[in-house]
């Protein structure tokens, strides 16, 4: 049953923890943005520039990796996949409400995570519809 949980819930929870515990200026968009842009480390580039990496950057990278695995999970035709799609839809609604109504979630980082959750929802439903259509086509051609 644990496989039905959307993997993108992990980055949403991590974002929430970073925003709640990492903000100095209160639960505001500016405070959340500052917490996400704090420099964790820098990498000198060959061009002479310095690449500064913050918690928000790592969270978006982690979210992309989770999206990849979610897309792989969506290709499964097991019954548990439908539960996963429903939970992903609920997660998207929660993310959208948080983005629109909660000040600490009105950042570009959370917007990108929300878009990734939406892509997961769309991919899951599209893959399910296409595989169901193929099953239906094969069933009618044989009969």
Per-residue pLDDT at 8 exceeds 90: yes
* 3-class secondary structure, 54: coil
Q: What pLDDT shows up at residue 64?
A: 97
Q: Tell me what pLDDT residue 35 has.
A: 83
Per-residue pLDDT tens over the stretch 13-68: 999 988 887 766 567 778 888 888 889 999 999 999 999 999 999 999 999 999 99
* Cβ density class 31-44: b for 16+ within 10 Å, e for less: bbbbbbeeeeeeee
**Whole-number pLDDT of residue 134:** 63
Instruction: Considering only the C-alpha atoms of the chain, give the largest distance between any 2 of them, rounded to a whole number of Å.
Output: 67
Q: What's the CA gap between 53 and 127, in Å, rounded? A: 35
Rounded to whole angstroms, how far apart are CA atoms 61 and 91?
19
Domain boundaries, the chain: 7-142
Least confident of 10-14, 19-23, 116-120: 19-23
């Amino acid at each position: 049953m644990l496989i039905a949980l959307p993997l993108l819930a992990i980055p949403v929870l991590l974002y929430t923890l970073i925003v709640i515990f990492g903000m100095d200026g209160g639960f505001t968009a500016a405070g959340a943005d500052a917490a996400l842009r704090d420099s964790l480390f820098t990498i000198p580039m060959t061009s002479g520039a310095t690449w500064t990496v913050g918690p928000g950057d790592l969270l978006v990278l982690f979210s992309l990796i989770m999206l990849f695995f979610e897309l792989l999970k969506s290709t499964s035709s097991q019954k548990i996949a439908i539960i996963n799609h429903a939970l992903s839809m609920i997660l998207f609604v929660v993310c959208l409400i948080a983005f629109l109504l909660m000040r600490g979630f009105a950042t570009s980082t959370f917007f990108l995570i929300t878009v990734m959750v939406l892509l997961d929802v769309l991919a899951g439903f599209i893959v399910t519809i296409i595989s169901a259509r193929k099953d239906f086509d094969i069933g009618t051609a044989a009969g």
